[in-house]
């Protein structure tokens, strides 16, 4: 049965997301011409950089910026001919100065368009952030139609007409929503690397399950810690875990151990639960991995280093379950509902990542984080 609070939560989610997605579509339509203009300016800047005259045929003389670019190509072509005849450094300097002027003109034009875009986005407040929480949400059709009264948008067209092709998904009732599950196979792990944001990334395998609009995911990965930040007893615990699993951390500044990172979009309690328990085994006799408070107003998440016996259960493909619990009248914890994580591909992916931790991780750490001394 669906948790007792699911009905109200999902109806409110549907109404909120219909409004958010409609406003987001309106915003995107207003920003689209500005985005196209910036893309065009970037194309012109690239053509100027490589001095590609083929772009001239596509320039619009009624547009002041494109007309200026056309003028630059014409003037630069004349200067190029002069240089061939004179071989003068002065001509080269004149060409370079002209290119810098048109480049700055394009940069100023891009900045002006960005300022226009910012002036449009600013009044929408947290709309972009709100839209992230509605991305991929399954909506309840009846309340969606009600929330669409007087609105015109793609989400409203899809809510009103079942035959409309759209990226939006609907169910006819909250009960059907809770029964809708998606089991996503564990992802293939790759090597540790530096992300575009300058952070360590990779070396992980992620398992996910979706129950209605609740998305639970866990990432099996090495937790990397600076040795100087660890108390001696903490370092000893990590070393003991690694030794039991045949892992060796040779980096003088950092160490690592297998861990789970947990994420679930459970900002509100669905059934008056007070806590969440992540565990192996049945709810009645759980082998607990991690716990969290419920109804905090934010998604739950955390990271926990795994004991060797928990790694063994993970390698064996034993499923992980997130159980919501509350205290009954007798003061005992009782399960409210449970979401079992997909174990598809779990054993093979975990084994592959453990092999990487044994054979290559220390080498990659030394390359990506060169020792201080």
121 and 17 housed in the same domain: yes
Domain span holding position 162: 1-179
20 and 33 housed in the same domain: yes
**Mean per-residue pLDDT, 167-179:** 91
Distance of alpha carbon 147 from alpha carbon 141, whole angstroms:
10
Confidence of residue 150 (pLDDT cuts 50, 70, 90): very high
Q: What is the pLDDT of residue 227?
A: 93
**Mean per-residue pLDDT, 213-239:** 94
**Percent residues over pLDDT 70 in the chain:** 100
Note whether 325 and 274 are within 8 A (CB): yes
Note whether 156 and 18 are within 8 A (CB): yes
170 and 217 housed in the same domain: no
Distance of alpha carbon 96 from alpha carbon 323, whole angstroms:
67
Note whether 139 and 170 are within 8 A (CB): yes
161 and 187 housed in the same domain: no
215 and 165 housed in the same domain: no
Note whether 252 and 305 are within 8 A (CB): no
Q: What is the pLDDT of residue 9?
A: 94
277 and 364 housed in the same domain: yes
The reply to whether 308 falls in a domain is yes
What's the full length of the chain, in residues? 373
Task: Give tens-digit pLDDT for 29-88.
Answer: 999 999 999 999 999 999 999 999 899 999 999 999 999 999 999 999 999 999 888 888
CA-based R_g, the chain, Å? 29
Confidence of residue 20 (pLDDT cuts 50, 70, 90): very high
Please say which residue of 141, 158, 179 terminates a domain.
Answer: 179
SS3 content of the chain, % helix, strand, coil (to 5): 50, 20, 30
Confidence of residue 372 (pLDDT cuts 50, 70, 90): confident
Please say which residue of 179, 206, 238 terminates a domain.
Answer: 179
The reply to whether 373 falls in a domain is no
- What is the average pLDDT score of the chain? 93
141 and 189 housed in the same domain: no
236 and 151 housed in the same domain: no
284 and 136 housed in the same domain: no
DSSP 8-state symbol, 228: G
Task: Give tens-digit pLDDT for 101-119.
Answer: 999 999 999 999 999 999 9
75 and 194 housed in the same domain: no
Please say which residue of 153, 179, 205 terminates a domain.
Answer: 179
Q: Find all residues with CB under 8 Å of 83, minimum gap 6, and list them.
A: 91, 92, 95
Above 90 in pLDDT, residue 133? Answer: no
195 and 307 housed in the same domain: yes
Q: Find all residues with CB under 8 Å of 51, minimum gap 6, and list them.
A: 76
Q: Which residue in the block uniquely carries the two structure tokens 């056309």? A: 70
133 and 173 housed in the same domain: yes
The reply to whether 297 falls in a domain is yes
Strands of the sheet with 287-293, listed across from one edge: 287-293, 275-280, 320-327, 333-340
Above 80 in pLDDT, residue 167? Answer: yes
> How many structural domains are present in the chain?
2
């Amino acid at each position: 049965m669906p948790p007792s609070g699911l009905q109200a939560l999902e109806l409110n989610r549907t109404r909120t997301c219909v409004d958010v997605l409609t406003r987001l579509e309106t915003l995107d339509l207003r920003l689209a011409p500005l985005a196209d203009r910036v893309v065009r300016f970037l194309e012109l800047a690239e053509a100027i950089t490589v001095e590609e005259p083929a772009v001239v045929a596509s320039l619009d003389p009624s547009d002041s910026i494109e007309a200026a670019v056309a003028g630059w190509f014409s003037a630069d072509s004349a200067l190029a001919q002069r240089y061939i005849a004179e071989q003068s450094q002065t001509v080269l300097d004149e060409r370079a100065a002209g290119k810098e002027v048109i480049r700055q003109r394009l940069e100023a034009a891009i900045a002006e368009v960005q300022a226009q875009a910012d002036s449009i986005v600013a009044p929408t407040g947290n709309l972009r952030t709100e839209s992230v929480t509605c991305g991929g949400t399954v909506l309840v059709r009846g309340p969606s139609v009600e929330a669409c009264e007087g609105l015109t948008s793609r989400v409203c067209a899809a809510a009103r007409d079942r035959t409309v092709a759209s990226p939006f998904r609907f169910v006819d009732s909250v009960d059907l929503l809770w029964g809708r599950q998606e089991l996503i196979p564990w992802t293939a792990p790759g090597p540790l690397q530096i992300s575009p944001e300058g952070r360590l990334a990779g070396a992980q395998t992620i398992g996910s399950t979706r129950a209605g609009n609740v998305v639970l995911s866990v990432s099996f990965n090495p937790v990397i810690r600076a040795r100087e930040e660890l108390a001696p007893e903490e370092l000893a615990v990590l070393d003991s875990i690694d030794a039991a699993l045949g892992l060796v951390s040779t980096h003088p500044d950092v160490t690592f151990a297998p861990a789970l990172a947990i994420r679930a979009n459970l900002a509100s309690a669905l059934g008056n639960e007070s806590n969440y328990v992540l565990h192996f085994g049945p709810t009645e006799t759980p082998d607990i991995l991690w716990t969290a408070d419920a109804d905090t107003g934010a998604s739950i998440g955390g990271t926990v280093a795994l004991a060797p016996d928990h790694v063994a259960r993970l390698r064996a493909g034993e499923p992980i379950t997130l159980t919501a619990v509350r205290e009954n009248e007798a003061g005992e914890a009782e399960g409210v509902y449970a979401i079992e994580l997909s174990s598809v591909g779990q054993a093979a992916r975990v084994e592959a990542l453990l092999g990487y931790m044994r054979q290559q991780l220390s080498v990659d750490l030394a390359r990506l984080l060169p020792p201080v001394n």
